[in-house]
Amino acid sequence: MNDNNLASYYFHQGTNFSAYKYLGCNMQIEDGKYCYSFRTWAPHAEKVELVSDIYGWTSPYPLEKITDMGIWECVIKSEVSLEKKAYKFRITSGGRVFDKGDPYARFSRGLADGASLIFTSDSFIWEDDAWLKKRKKTVTSKKGNYLSTPVNIYETHLGSFMRHKDNSYYTYREIADVMVPYLKFMGYTHVEFLPLAEFPYDGSWGYQVCGFYAPTSRFGDPDDLRYMINEFHKNGIGVIMDWVPAHFPKDAWGLYEFDGQPLYEYQGKDRQESRSWGTRFFDLGREEVQSFLVSNAMYFFREFHIDGLRVDAVASMLYLDYDRDPGEWVPNAYGTNLNLEAEAFLRKLNLTVFSEIPDVLMIAEESTAHGKITHPVYEGGLGFNLKWNMGWANDFYEYVMTDPLFRKYKHTALNFPLMYAYTENYILPISHDEVVHGKLSFIDKMYGSYEDKFAQMRTALLLMMTYPGKKMLFMGTEYGQFREWDYENSLEWFMLDYPKHKAMREYVASLNRFYLESSELWDLDFSPQGFEWILADENEKNLVAFRRKNIRGSSVIVILSFSGCDQRLSLPIKYQNLEKLFDSGNVGELERIVSVRKSGREYIADIIVPAFSGLILKEKRNKNIKTLKEN
């Protein structure tokens, strides 16, 4: 069997995880000529032709069917490079003739046109060896202590982070020049981009993908994206990309009924389509679709050096009754609503990724109680290594939107998350989904007056940064933008001209840096040994206190009050002396709010906690300590 026969065999077996090197457009030099092979999978097609800039769109070039299972091929030799020439596949099926973009195209015109662009260049020179060595060293297990490293993600929609004065997009390279130094200054460890694969409709935010292998041309070509990622890496910042293997839109040039019949999508009406999104679900049980999707994930890891994929809408893949009414879905062989093919696909995906690149992140956006999302496959899990804690986010938003007089009835928002904190490897997300469609921006969720909103937001962020789990904040939240996120316009950077918003950004930067320097806040994120309640049930005071610990046993005390008035509490401490490490900005000098007394064999700290405030303390043995200057 030659290499091409093996590639097609494994593709149809669902185990070709480099399918993009076989299908789509690939080039090699033969006898001094550019030799371009075009291949596509279209088993229901009666005829496939190439229409392009090469011969003129009115002169189709025929493809030959080379496998019984529907792979078509043509080879074009040229004296000159055909890079960035446009093409489509013209398919004849069932008496209809229609044009499709190449599912494996690495570049595309996108939007309504969808013409694929030849892009076979591999000339980009990476300069991120130091970053990749660091990643390999930190994204590992250490004696059962997984991911013992700070992860603080800045979630970004590239098209609305910043725009030119005429509202045109920044390019990938321009974004790198602006965002890289900004995130480095702010103390973020990672940036996460909403989907960057080619999509037709801006209003989908990138979640309705047509060109899965083609970075969107809105911001430049694939090498421009590589440049941006390279710049982040050179500055010690990881890059995560949202990835959408659940569904695709019904745009004519995309995967929708690619060869005249359902091909990439489920054939049965009970699984085929999402009512809410108006999209088609991938047939995750079909071997060729598995090759397509797993290869796509590996493509971005290998060819773009990304550090993680946040897998969108996992729940929609896992449940047969997702977005369906009774009678509209068919149970599995065991009579339940679980999509067994989807579970098998996700396990295959994660096993493949981690077997080749064990030091990347596979993050599930999964909103149900499915269980074992981040457990290894050999333990019956799905094999992700992180999951968004959407339950925490929804409960906490409801809590901060409540009048402080009635928060005592919702106190479980503060203490219940620790009941399940170690069932999965969680990220605590303040995400794009929660600052649109009338849900209010994060600062505007805070109850009360203008002044109170800022104070509560500072304490809310302090809670997120000190609870177990990795961290994520959506762009614009760091300076308290009041307007909801608007994908069609830039963030309101002019808000930084106002002192309170500028101070909020400075506070977030200071909090981020403190987090990075404090291993107690991230070393044991996924182990109960890293957390200890001191006061969990102070619902009448809207207050909690706890210790965070690192693997060496060093600990800090965190006190958080969401009360509208000052609160007094007595806190048992290990040693006589306390040092203030960090506070939410309205606490004051330690000597004014804390007195320590002995009670039997232990010490008690009597503390006045100001309204809407939080502080982090360190228990110290020595007596001659200085209180840190207020943050």
- The structure tokens listed for 119 are 């892009």
What is the DSSP code string of 324-348? --TTSS---TTSSSB-HHHHHHHHH
Give helix then strand counts, H and E, for the chain.
15, 32
What angle, 0 to 180 degrees and rounded to 10, lies between the N-to-C axes of helices 222-234 and 172-186?
20
In whole angstroms, how far apart are CA 503 and each of 453, 460, 473, 482, 631?
13, 16, 17, 15, 11
Residue 113 annotated to the active site: no
Residue ranges in 124-189 assigned as alpha helix (H): 129-138, 158-161, 172-186
Q: How far is it, in rounded angstroms, from Cα 91 to Cα 44?
A: 10
8 A C-beta contact, residue 323 and residue 275: yes
8 A C-beta contact, residue 468 and residue 421: yes
- The structure tokens listed for 9 are 């065999």
Sequence-separated (6 or more) residues with CB below 8 Å from residue 144 = 527
Count the neighbouring beta carbons within 10 Å of the beta carbon of residue 96: 9
SS3 labels along 589-605: CHHHHEEEEEECCEEEE
Q: How far is it, in rounded angstroms, from Cα 458 to Cα 504?
A: 8
What angle, 0 to 180 degrees and rounded to 10, lies between the N-to-C axes of helices 222-234 and 129-138?
60
8 A C-beta contact, residue 435 and residue 394: no
Catalytic-labelled residue, pool 49, 231, 283, 312? 312
Give the rounded distance of the alpha carbon of 400 from its chain centre: 24
In whole angstroms, how far apart are CA 61 and each of 87, 153, 386?
11, 47, 47
- DSSP character at residue 554: -
What is the DSSP code string of 71-131? EEEEEEEESS--TT-EEEEEEEETTEEEEE--TT-SSB--TTT--EE-----------HHH
- The structure tokens listed for 63 are 């493809």
Q: How far is it, in rounded angstroms, from Cα 412 to Cα 124?
A: 52
List the one residue out of 234, 256, 260 whose CA is nearest residue 128. 234
End-to-end CA distance of the chain: 68
Strands 24-30, 190-193: pairing is unpaired
Count the neighbouring beta carbons within 10 Å of the beta carbon of residue 18: 15
Element (H, E) at 155: strand 152-156
In whole angstroms, how far apart are CA 384 and each of 18, 360, 363, 365, 493?
21, 10, 6, 10, 36
What angle, 0 to 180 degrees and rounded to 10, lies between the N-to-C axes of helices 287-304 and 3-13?
120
Residue 341 annotated to the active site: no
What angle, 0 to 180 degrees and rounded to 10, lies between the N-to-C axes of helices 340-356 and 287-304?
30
Q: How far is it, in rounded angstroms, from Cα 544 to Cα 449?
A: 23
Catalytic-labelled residue, pool 198, 221, 223, 365? 365
Annotated catalytic sites, by residue? Answer: 312, 365
